[in-house]
């Protein structure tokens, strides 16, 4: 598709945040696994802090 819409040619059911195909070479890329790992570690950290004090 020439227009960089995220859900192809069909009418997009876009969420509130729109993501396009275009990306800048400078941008910092994050692996989705990193997001999940960080979220879980952060949650566990807060839990441990809560128990420790």
Partner 1 sequence: MGWKETAEPVLTRMPSVERPEGHVPFKRKLAWTAGILVMYFFLTNITMFGLATGGAGGDFYGRFRSILAGSSGSILQLGIGPIVTASIVLQLLGGADLLGLDTDDPRDQVLYQGLQKLLVVVMICLTGLPMVFAGNYLPVNSQLASQLGIGVFGLKTVLFAQMFVGAVLILFMDEVISKWGVGSGIGLFIIAGVSQQLVAGLFAVPALGTQVTGFFPAWYGIITGGIQLDPFIQSLLFDPGNILALFTTVLIFSIVVYTESVRVEIPLSHARVKGARGRFPVKLIYASVLPMILVRALQANIQFLGQILNNYVNLPAFIGVYSQGQPVSGLFYYLAPIQSRADWMWFSGAFTVSAEPWQIIIRVLVDLTFMIIGGAIFAVFWVETTGMGPESTAQQIQNSGMQIPGFRKNPQVIEKVMERYIPQVTVIGGALVGALAVLANMLGTLGGVSGTGLLLTVSITYKLYEEIAEEQLMEMHPMMRQMFGSD
The least distance separating partner 1 from the CB of residue 52, rounded to whole angstroms, comes to 9
Q: Which residue has the tokens 């195909």?
A: 21
C-alpha–C-alpha distance, residues 25 and 38, integer Å: 24
- Assign 13 to helix, strand or coil: coil
The least distance separating partner 1 from the CB of residue 11, rounded to whole angstroms, comes to 6
Name 4's Cβ contacts closer than 8 Å, sequence gap at least 6: 20, 21, 22
Site for partner 1 contains 41 (CB under 8 A): no
Name residues contacting partner 1, limited to 9-38 (CB under 8 A). 9-24, 26-32, 35-36, 38
Residues that bind partner 1 (CB under 8 A): 1-24, 26-32, 35-36, 38-40, 42-43, 46-47, 49-50, 53
């Amino acid at each position: 598709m020439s227009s960089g819409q995220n859900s192809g040619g069909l009418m997009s059911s876009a969420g509130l945040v729109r993501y396009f195909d275009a990306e800048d070479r400078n941008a910092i890329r994050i692996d989705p696994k990193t997001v999940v790992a960080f979220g879980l570690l952060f949650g566990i950290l807060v839990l441990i802090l809560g128990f420790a004090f």
